[in-house]
Structure 1
Amino acid sequence: MSTLPRRTVLTGGAAAVLAAAGFAATSAPASADPARRPFRLTVMGTTDLHGHVFNWDYYAGKEYDDAKHNDVGLAKVATLVEAVRKERGRRNTLLIDAGDTIQGTPLAYYFAKVAPINRRRIHPMAAAMNQMGYDAAALGNHEFNYGIPLLRAYEQQLDFPLLGANALDATTGRPAFKPYVLKTVFPAGAPPVRVGILGLTNPGIALWDKANVEGKMSFPGLVEQAAVWVPRMRRAGAEVVLVAAHSGADTSSSYGDALPYPENAATLVAEQVPGIDAILVGHAHVEIPQRLVTNKATGKQVVLTEPLLWGERLSLIDVDLEWGWRDGWQVRAVSSQVLNSNTVPEDPKITKLLKSDHELVVGYVNSPVGTCTQAMSCATARYQDVPALDFINHVQADTVKQAVGGTLPVLSIAAPFNRDAAIPAGQVTIRDVAGLYIYDNTLLAVKLTGAQVKDYLEFSAQYFKQLPGPGSYPAEAVTNAPTPTAVNGTPDYNYDVVSGLDAPLAYDIDVTKPVGQRIANLTYAGKALAADQQFVVAVNNYRQSGGGGFPHISKAEVVYNRQLEIRQQLIDWTKAAGSIDPARFATVDWRLVAGSTPITVTG
Structure 2
Amino acid sequence: MKIDTSPDMQATPATGQGSTLHLRILATSDVHANLMPYDYFLDRDERPFGLARLATLIRAARNEAPNCLLLDNGDMLQGTPISDMLEDADDAIHPVISAMNHLQYDAAGLGNHEFNFGLDWLRRKVRDARFPYVCANLSPREGAPASAAAFWSPSHLLDRTFTAIDGGRHALRIGIVSVMPPQVTTWDRTHLEGRIESADMVEATRREAAKLRAGGADLVILLAHTGIEEGAPHPGMENAAIPLARLGDIDAMVMGHVHSVFPSSDFAGLHEVDLERGTIAGTPAVMPGYRGSHLGLLDLDLVLRGERWEVLAGRGSAWPVAAGNRATVESDSALRKHLAPAHNATLRRTRASLGEADGPLHTYLSLIGYNPAERLIARVQRAALSRELAGGPFDGVPILSSVAPFRAGGRSGPGAFTDVPAGPLALRHAADLYAFPNTLVGLAISGADLREWLESAAILFNTVQPGAQDAPLRAPDIPPHVFEIVDGVTYEIDLSQPPRRSLSGQLVDARAHRIANLRHEGRPVRDADRFILATNNYRAAGSGPFAAAHPAEVVHEGQTWIRDLLAQHLSAHRPVTPDTSRIWRFLPMPGTTAILSTGPGFAQVCPRPDTPPIEPLGIDQDGFLRLRLAL
Which TM class, normalised by the smaller chain length? 0.7 to 0.9
Quick one: distance in 2 between partners of 1:151 and 1:157? 11
Report Cα offsets for 1:484-531 as digits up to 9, x if no partner: xxxx5110011111111xxxx111111012223211111110111121
Could you tell me how far 1:29 is from its partner in structure 2? 2.3
Q: Is the Cα contact below 8 Å between 2:23 and 2:301 reproduced in 1?
A: yes
Counterpart selection for 2:458 from 457, 461, 465: 461
Is 1:395 equivalent to 2:380 in the alignment?
yes
Q: Indicate the SS of the match to 1:303.
A: strand
Distance (whole Å) between structure 1 residues aligned to residue 103 and residue 96 of structure 2: 11
Equivalent residue for 1:413?
402
Cα deviation for residue 464 of structure 1 reads: 0.8
Contact 2:17–2:303 (8 Å) recurs in 1: no
Higher mean C-alpha displacement, 585-594 vs 305-314: 585-594
Matches within 5 A, 1:421-440: 421-440=418-437
Contact 1:72–1:312 (Cα < 8 Å) also in 2: yes
CA distance in 1, matches of 2:57, 2:174: 22
Q: Secondary structure at the match of 2:142?
A: coil
What TM-score results when the alignment is normalised by the length of structure 1? 0.85
Residue 592 (structure 1) aligns with:
586
Change (3 A) 1:541 1:358: same
CA drift at 1:205: 1.5
State whether residues 303 and 309 of structure 2, in contact with CA within 8 Å, keep that contact through their aligned partners in structure 1.
Answer: yes
Q: Does 1:219 align with 2:201?
A: no
Q: How is 1:440-519 mapped onto 2 (pairs within 5 angstroms)?
A: 440-469=437-466, 473=470, 477-479=472-474, 481=475, 489-500=477-488, 505-515=489-499, 516-519=512-515
Q: Which amino acid aligns with 1:491?
A: P
Checking the alignment, whether the CA contact within 8 Å between 1:167 and 1:176 is kept in structure 2 is: no
Residue 117 of structure 1 and its aligned partner are, at CA, apart by 3.9
Q: Structure 1 residues 97 and 572 mapped into 2: Cα distance closer, same or farther (>3 Å)?
A: same
Mapped contact 2:206–2:249 kept (Cα < 8 A): no
Q: CA deviation at 1:439?
A: 1.3
Equivalent of residue 88 in structure 1, options 65, 71, 85: 65
Residue 298 of structure 2: SS of its match in structure 1? strand
Shift of 1:423: 2.3
Task: Report what 2:88 is aligned to.
Answer: 115
Name the structure 2 match of 1:19. none
Question: How far does the alpha carbon of each residue in 1:385-424 deviate from its partner, in whole angstroms, 9 at most, with x for none?
Answer: 3211111111111111121020100001111111321222
Residue correspondence of structure 1 range 141-180 to structure 2 within 5 A: 141-171=112-142, 177-180=152-155
Distance verdict in 2 for CA 1:203–1:601, change over 3 Å: farther
Q: Provide the rounded CA distance (Å) in 1 between the counterparts of 2:32 and 2:447.
A: 38
Q: Show the counterpart of 1:334.
A: 314
1:184 aligned partner: 159
Give the alignment of 1:333-372 within 5 angstroms: 333-342=313-322, 343-372=328-357
Quote the Cα distance in structure 2 between the aligned partners of 1:378 and 1:235: 54
Q: Which amino acid aligns with 1:378?
A: T
Which residue number in structure 2 is paired with residue 542 of structure 1?
538
Aligned equivalents of 2:389, 2:176: Cα separation in 1? 49
Q: Please report how far the alpha carbon of residue 366 of structure 1 lies from its aligned counterpart in structure 2 after TM superposition.
A: 1.3
Unpaired runs of at least 5, structure 2: 1-6, 274-279, 323-327, 409-416, 500-511, 594-612, 616-626
1:212-264 per-residue CA deviation (whole Å, 9 max, x = no partner) reads: 111111111111111110000001011111011111122699xxx9xx61221
1:456 deviates by 1.5
TM-score (ref. length: structure 2): 0.82
Instruction: Tell me the CA shift for residue 202 of structure 1.
Output: 2.5
Displacement of 1:461: 1.3
> Partner of 1:76: helix, strand, or coil?
helix
Q: CA separation of 1:248/1:221 partners in 2, compared to 1, >3 Å: closer, same or farther?
A: same
Kindly provide the CA deviation profile for residues 129-165 of structure 1, in whole angstroms up to 9, marking residues without a partner as x. Answer: 0011100000011111111111111111100001111
Across the aligned residues of Structure 1 and Structure 2, the Cα RMSD in angstroms comes to 2.5
For residue 561 of structure 1, give the secondary structure of its aligned residue in structure 2: strand
Q: Is the 8 A contact 2:245 2:281 kept in 1?
A: no
Letter in 2 for 1:289: P
Q: 1:283-302, aligned counterparts within 5 Å?
A: 283-289=257-263, 301-302=282-283
Q: 1:485 — aligned with what? A: none
Aligned residue-pair number: 543
Q: Distance in 1 between matches of 2:430 and 2:469?
A: 32
Structure 1 unaligned runs (5+)? 1-24, 66-70, 482-487
Q: Find the counterpart in structure 1 of residue 610 from structure 2.
A: none
More deviation in 548-557 or 399-408? 548-557
Following the alignment from structure 1 to structure 2, what is the Cα–Cα distance between the partners of residues 244 and 94? 13
Equivalent position SS for 2:101: helix
Percent of pairs with identical residues: 30
SS in 1 for 2:315: strand
Q: Does 1:76 align with 2:53?
A: yes
Q: Report the CA distance between 1:589 and its aligned residue.
A: 1.4
Q: Deviations along 1:168-188, whole A, 9 cap, x unmatched?
A: 011269965211111123233
Taking a change above 3 Å as real, the CA distance of residues 64 and 442 of structure 1, as seen in their structure-2 partners, is farther
Contact 2:434 2:563 in 1 (8 A): yes
| CA distance, structure 1, for counterparts of residue 20 and residue 88 of structure 2 | 50
What is the aligned partner in structure 2 of residue 572 from structure 1?
568
Contact 2:225 2:257 in 1 (8 A): yes
